[in-house]
Amino acid sequence: MDSGKNILNSVSKRSHEHEFYTPMPKGYEKGKTKYVVVTGSVISGLGKGIFASALGLLLENHGLSVSPIKFDGYLNVDAGTLNPFRHGEVFVLNDGTECDMDLGTYERFLHKDLTKSNYMTAGKLFKSLLERERKGGFLGRDVQIIPHVTGEIKRFIRKLSMEAKADVVLIEIGGTVGDLENGYFIEAMRELAYEEGDENVCFVNLTYILNPKTLGEQKSKAAQLGIRALMGMGIMPDIIACRAGEPVGEKIREKISIFSNVPIERVISLHDVPTIYMVPVLLNKEGIGDAVIKRLGLKDRVDPQAAKEKFVKWEEFVSKIMNGGKTVTIGMAGKYTGLADSYASILKALEHAGAHCGAKVKVKWIETSDIEKGAISVDEVLKGIDGLIVAPGFGARGVEGKIECVRYVRENKIPFLGICYGLQMAVIEHARNVLGLEGANSTEVEPECKHPVIDVMPEQKKIHGLGGNMRLGIYPATLKEGTKVFELYGKKDVTERHRHRWEVNPKYIEKIEMGGLVFSGQSPDRRLMEFIERTDHPYFVATQAHPEFKSRPLKPAPLFMGLIKAAVERKKG
């Protein structure tokens, strides 16, 4: 009887436990930060990140502090092991986070550096959640999608809002409404609006308007069904952006408005434009920034006049892109050339530099594997280029093709920029063809090569596990005065982001720095070679870093500026 009484008492106590799980960071104040949630319907790849970045730019121009966050539904903890062919480039943040390329878009539009707090994957979420469960962090509760998984998502974004001291947190949910892998993210956003209050959360849905060639007109049914799916999950959009190849007609917008209860002035056409940098101009014309400010009650925090003045600089930049001068052709030598997104940040850095140099940049894709196989000659493929970039990469495929490209531009005095792997290829080519070190190579490509001019540093060889021995994130370098690199940066001490394992072998440094090659930048302790250049060439520069990650529309990366200026000069000649 006593044991039965204890069971009843236990059940009675449990019956008084509530079902809420709303972890709040210490000091969090409801209403201090507002939230804009961006979802996509009908198809993936609509440009949610571009839209959110453009909106963030408009809000920042109004004097608001904006911090973005990207949710990705895949179970990878980060993007570091993802193949560029499947997911585009891996973008690297200052703190070493390997993340989705959308974070690069955010950094470029908002002109700010992001951190690991601005990025979450399902893998990262569940890893954190299960580690907490193993430590007893849920006090014996059965851990469920609702409320615990959704609760952890809300904790993550509220923590970001406090760390960033943000007026607005932009939340981009990857994938498409209806995907199983992002359903709990969307549910978490419904709960966020329930807990924060309707006045503190604004929902935006990007949808796709079909235009079948056989019909010759735009159709909205798929968009309606996608919006219905979102509404069925408890989310009523406040703004709908209709993606399409051509401007979306008034009748289509009216149909979407009626179907979604969204006023017609907040159902906008987000059609294709010549450059993504025109998207803020398009949104500004549609008054979307003002609509969000009004919807979230932020009028007392903004300065409309300052916003207009700041936006002029952006419009001037867009004008430069649209009305660039002479076209220069830059060769892009790599092994992921079948997908432009594999080199997204490099392409953007070229675009930024081109605009500021008054030039249009045309990229010629060079698949180095084809050169390596003998399918095409290096002379033929590089004919007519005004400059060359040897792109980053890993592994042996295409390496000999890259080395041949470096040889060609060195001998023909064509402007050259080597990025990460590109620096290593330039060192190998120099060792082989200038210094006569037959068999020079990287131990990544040929572990037992005769002259390992590129090798893993001794202390890194002790570290095991993919990614464990990589230099990731921002590192300092000291530049040599009187060099081209020093001239471009305009200072002695610089920082750039890295993502690599192999380095110039210290045993060969003295030998390599002969025959016209100079190590123009080193790590502060002089152990790692960060920049090289040639003294017998108009522009031959390479870096072990990834300067493209820090390039901004209004502040181009110095090495890209140098490349485009040199290419323009060559074109004139």
Indicate the Cα dihedral angle 335, 339, 341, 344, nearest 10°. 50
Report the pLDDT value the prediction gives residue 84, as an integer from 0 to 100.
72
Whether 420 is catalytic is yes
What's the CATH code of the domain at 97?
3.40.50.300
Whether residues 468 and 355 fall in one domain: yes
**Cα 69–180–182 angle (5° rounding)?**
5
Whether residues 307 and 392 fall in one domain: no
Whether 89 is catalytic is no
Question: Within a domain: residue 215?
Answer: no
Q: SS3 breakdown of the chain: % helix, strand, coil, rounded to 5?
A: 45, 20, 35
DSSP label at residue 149: I
- Which of 420, 430, 444, 537 is catalytic? The answer is 420
Within 10 Å of residue 495's Cβ, how many Cβ atoms?
Answer: 13
Q: Of 397, 426, 417, 388, which Cα lies nearest the Cα of 548?
A: 417
Whether residues 181 and 131 fall in one domain: yes
Residue carrying the six token digits 């907040």: 266
What's the CATH code of the domain at 403?
3.40.50.880
Q: Which of 316, 343, 368 is the last residue of a domain?
A: 316
| Mean pLDDT per 10-residue section of the chain, whose length is 573 residues | 46 53 87 97 93 97 97 92 79 96 96 97 94 88 91 96 97 94 96 96 97 92 96 97 96 96 96 95 95 96 91 94 90 77 92 95 92 86 95 84 96 97 96 96 94 83 55 96 98 96 94 94 94 97 97 97 97 81
Question: Within a domain: residue 232?
Answer: no
Whether residues 304 and 417 fall in one domain: no
Q: Of 425, 443, 384, which Cα lies nearest the Cα of 517?
A: 425
CB 329 within 8 A of CB 364: yes
Whether residues 287 and 386 fall in one domain: no
pTM above 0.75, yes or no: yes
Give the structural domain span for 485. Answer: 324-572
Question: Within a domain: residue 239?
Answer: no
Taking the C-alpha atoms of residue 47 and residue 539, their distance in angstroms, rounded to an integer, is 36
User: Helices 279-286 and 288-295 meet at what angle, rounded to 10?
Assistant: 60
Question: Within a domain: residue 251?
Answer: no
- Which of 172, 187, 404, 548 is catalytic? The answer is 548
Whether residues 390 and 534 fall in one domain: yes
Tally of domains in the chain: 2
Alpha helices in 82-149 (DSSP H): 84-87, 102-110, 122-134
Whether residues 311 and 338 fall in one domain: no
Question: Within a domain: residue 549?
Answer: yes
Q: Which of 291, 316, 341 is the last residue of a domain?
A: 316
Question: Within a domain: residue 444?
Answer: yes
What residues form DSSP beta bridges with 40? 206
- Which of 352, 451, 500, 546 is catalytic? The answer is 546
Whether residues 296 and 438 fall in one domain: no
Whether residues 94 and 143 fall in one domain: yes
Region for 96 from its dihedrals, namely left if φ exceeds 0, alpha if ψ lies in -120 to 50, beta otherwise: left
Whether residues 296 and 372 fall in one domain: no
Report the pLDDT value the prediction gives residue 209, as an integer from 0 to 100.
96
Residue carrying the six token digits 């609702």: 146
Whether residues 551 and 443 fall in one domain: yes
Q: Which of 257, 285, 316 is the last residue of a domain?
A: 316
Encoding tokens for residue 341?
Answer: 């997104």
Q: How far apart are the first and last CA of the chain?
A: 101
Whether 546 is catalytic is yes
Whether residues 416 and 495 fall in one domain: yes
Taking the C-alpha atoms of residue 260 and residue 237, their distance in angstroms, rounded to an integer, is 7
